[in-house]
Amino acid sequence: MRPLRICLAASEVAPFAKTGGLADVLTGLGRWLGAKAPAGAGHDVRIFLPCYQRIAESGVKTTPVAKMSAIDVRFPGRTIRFGLRTVPLPQSDVLVHLVDCPELYGRSQIYTSDGDEALRFAFLCRAVLESCQRWQWAPDVVHCNDWHTALLPLYLRTVYAWDRLFAATRTVLTIHNIGYQGVFPDAQLDVIGLGDQRAHLHHGDLREGRFSCLKTGVLHANKLTTVSRTYAKEIQTAELGMGMDELLRTRSQDLVGIVNGVDYGTWDPATDPLIPHHFTAEDLAGKAKMKAALLQRLSLPHDPRAPVFGVVSRLTAQKGFELFADSIPIFLQREDMRLCVLGSGETKHEQYFQWLRDTWPKKVGLYKGFHDELAHWIEAGSDLFLMPSRFEPCGLNQMYSLRYGTPPIVRRTGGLADTVEPWDPATRQGTGFLFDEFSSHALAGTVDWALRNWRDQRGWRQLVQNGMRRDFSWDRQGPEYVALYRSLLPAS
């Protein structure tokens, strides 16, 4: 079988631009697809990402692509120019292609609420296709991710339909989070050059004077995926479909759930360059040292018997932290425990964690903001990881915590349900603790149950080892994407 030409497009790629798991998935999947597989060469993978201001400021060395320094893209009444630069994806031969357009991306944030937000990402879609044209490179598959690149299939079917280069190109759209749909007033369609394509957009939305980038992608991509099997079912229900369930049900034949892989090149406690003490399932001494180091770093007293609960998260409604209010303080009062929180997001959540920190300064450590290294330390140094999500398309953190010997406490939803198995002390099977009902009461009951198990340290060691030995690598998950891509190739 020949290697495939795969174009990946997204708004985040780690380590260059990251707010959450999307960035890790692009990097892990891109690296895996581009790797030299034992059976032959890797696939021809080209990743596209906007050249955000933060990339230029980070000092990372980027290289201009020959003959691609000034490409004009025409929009109604306006021409916008970009240049293409590359930066190697770390530990990989794959190049990330940066769409350099200071007019649109020279801002301090990745995402903005500026009036041209639709244009910023519509432009990314077009820059991908314009670059392919310049190279005369016909991707077998363009793999789009979330709303930011979801207009690409429609552009391909309309504005670029004349170009035979793309005659055999197929599109895949992965929904990483249906909570973000990219909904804009329909007047913006003229701005992004889709004003004549209203017939191809969701009519119900247009009637209400708006359009949704994600819905447009769902209508036009050849295949749809989302990032776990359970979430693939959930988004087809009224409860979790966020208004898209009906449309998704009409495309259920083309929708598959593929659980995200973990890039153990970046997230493995045996080799992680961001942590000072390493460990494996067989030798956990380094984990005890990481616990002491983490507590010292967050100025908390160390006692090996006191369990450390970790949180690393975007602080949004999705993540379920409102369940803490009537549960976690009870444990902080009652138990000799520690809680280490790293997060940023909505002010009310940040304030709540600040309140916990101020109320129990010897038990709660807090870092408000984004801190990659500290994320690795918390995974490695905690005894339990808390992730009570209201919904969770996949979730990477619980898989990281499994590998770092930190059993997760999660709600049974989306990818959490697919990746964490309930611990049963009688059979010594399982990897973590799950609860169903979205309530403080259910969370509290599960924390209580976890603490009772913590007191049986021999059983605990088995639980930790079970989780560390699970394999969520891209070697397991990646082939599902390749099979999907191949299923789209025209029969030869």
SS3 367: strand
Rounded to the nearest whole angstrom, what is the least distance from the CB of residue 353 to ligand GLC in the complex?
19
- Binding piece for ligand GLC, criterion CB under 6 A, among 15-23, 358-366, 423-431, 472-480: 15-23
Which one, 156 or 375, has the nearer CB to ligand ADP? 375
Which one, 197 or 389, has the nearer CB to ligand GLC? 389
Of 8, 10, 20, 71, the one binding ligand GLC by CB under 6 A: 20
* Buried-state track 121-135, b at ≥16 Cβ within 10 A, e below 16: bbbbbbbbbbbbeee
Of 53, 133, 222, 344, the one binding ligand ADP by CB under 6 A: 344
Rounded to the nearest whole angstrom, what is the least distance from the CB of residue 314 to ligand ADP in the complex?
4
CB 6 within 8 A of CB 485: yes
User: Which of positions 9-28 make contact with ligand ADP (CB under 6 A)?
Assistant: 20-22, 24
Size of the site for ligand ADP (CB under 6 A): 18
**Which does residue 371 touch among ligand GLC, ligand ADP, none (CB within 5 to 8 A, set by kind)?**
ligand ADP
CB 429 within 8 A of CB 459: no
Q: What is the number of the residue whose Cβ is closest to ligand ADP?
A: 21
Euclidean distance between CA atoms 294 and 258, whole angstroms: 34
Q: Does 127 participate in binding ligand GLC (rule CB under 6 A)? A: no
SS3 63: strand
DSSP string, 124-161: HHHHHHHHHHHHT---SEEEEETGGGTTHHHHHHTTTT
Tally of CB atoms within 10 A around 322: 15
Which one, 50 or 343, has the nearer CB to ligand ADP? 343
Q: Does 225 participate in binding ligand ADP (rule CB under 6 A)? A: no
Euclidean distance between CA atoms 383 and 399, whole angstroms: 14
Task: List all residues 6 or more positions away from 409 whose beta carbon is below 8 Å from its beta carbon.
Answer: 384, 385, 386, 387, 388, 432, 433, 434, 435, 443, 446, 447, 450
- Binding piece for ligand GLC, criterion CB under 6 A, among 112-120, 322-330, 387-395, 421-429: 387-395
Task: Look at the chain and count its residues.
Answer: 492
User: Which of positions 297-326 make contact with ligand ADP (CB under 6 A)?
Assistant: 312-314
**430-435 CB contacts, 8 Å cutoff, 24+ apart:** 430/463, 430/466, 431/402, 431/407, 431/463, 431/466, 431/467, 431/470, 432/398, 432/402, 432/407, 432/408, 432/463, 432/467, 433/407, 433/408, 433/409, 434/409, 434/410, 435/388, 435/409, 435/410, 435/411
SS (H, E, C) 19-34: CCHHHHHHHHHHHHHH
**Which does residue 217 touch among ligand ADP, ligand GLC, none (CB within 5 to 8 A, set by kind)?**
none
Which one, 148 or 220, has the nearer CB to ligand ADP? 148
Q: Does 261 participate in binding ligand GLC (rule CB under 6 A)? A: no
Rounded to the nearest whole angstrom, what is the least distance from the CB of residue 126 to ligand ADP in the complex?
26
Rounded to the nearest whole angstrom, what is the least distance from the CB of residue 227 to ligand ADP in the complex?
8
**Which does residue 397 touch among ligand GLC, ligand ADP, none (CB within 5 to 8 A, set by kind)?**
ligand ADP
Task: List all residues 6 or more positions away from 347 whose beta carbon is below 8 Å from its beta carbon.
Answer: none
Q: Does 46 participate in binding ligand GLC (rule CB under 6 A)? A: no
Which one, 119 or 342, has the nearer CB to ligand ADP? 342
- Residue 14: C-alpha distances to residues 29, 79, 173, 471 (Å): 11, 30, 19, 21
User: Which of positions 355-374 make contact with ligand ADP (CB under 6 A)?
Assistant: 370-372
Task: List all residues 6 or more positions away from 348 whose beta carbon is below 8 Å from its beta carbon.
Answer: none
SS3 309: strand
- Binding piece for ligand GLC, criterion CB under 6 A, among 17-25, 34-42, 126-134, 484-492: 17-25
Tell me the two tokens of residue 425: 């002390």
Instruction: Quickly list H helices, 72-228.
Output: 102-105, 117-135, 152-157, 188-191, 203-207, 213-220
Site string for ligand GLC, 392-431 (x = CB under 6 A): xxxxx------------------x----------------
- Residue that is written with structure tokens 């079917």 in the block: 157
Which one, 129 or 342, has the nearer CB to ligand ADP? 342
Site string for ligand ADP, 387-426 (x = CB under 6 A): -------xxxx-----------------------------
**Which does residue 431 touch among ligand ADP, ligand GLC, none (CB within 5 to 8 A, set by kind)?**
none
**Letter for the amino acid at 50?**
P
Q: What is the number of the residue whose Cβ is closest to ligand GLC?
A: 21
Q: Does 283 participate in binding ligand ADP (rule CB under 6 A)? A: no
User: Which of positions 178-237 make contact with ligand GLC (CB under 6 A)?
Assistant: 227
Of 343, 365, 408, 414, the one binding ligand ADP by CB under 6 A: 343
Rounded to the nearest whole angstrom, what is the least distance from the CB of residue 239 to ligand GLC in the complex?
17
Q: Does 177 participate in binding ligand GLC (rule CB under 6 A)? A: yes
- Residue that is written with structure tokens 């903001």 in the block: 369
**Letter for the amino acid at 216?**
T
Compute the C-alpha angle 212/214/219, nearest 5°. 95
Please give the residue ranges that form the binding site for ligand ADP (CB under 6 A).
20-22, 24, 312-314, 342-344, 370-372, 375, 394-397
Please give the residue ranges that form the binding site for ligand GLC (CB under 6 A).
20-22, 25, 176-177, 227, 260, 392-396, 415
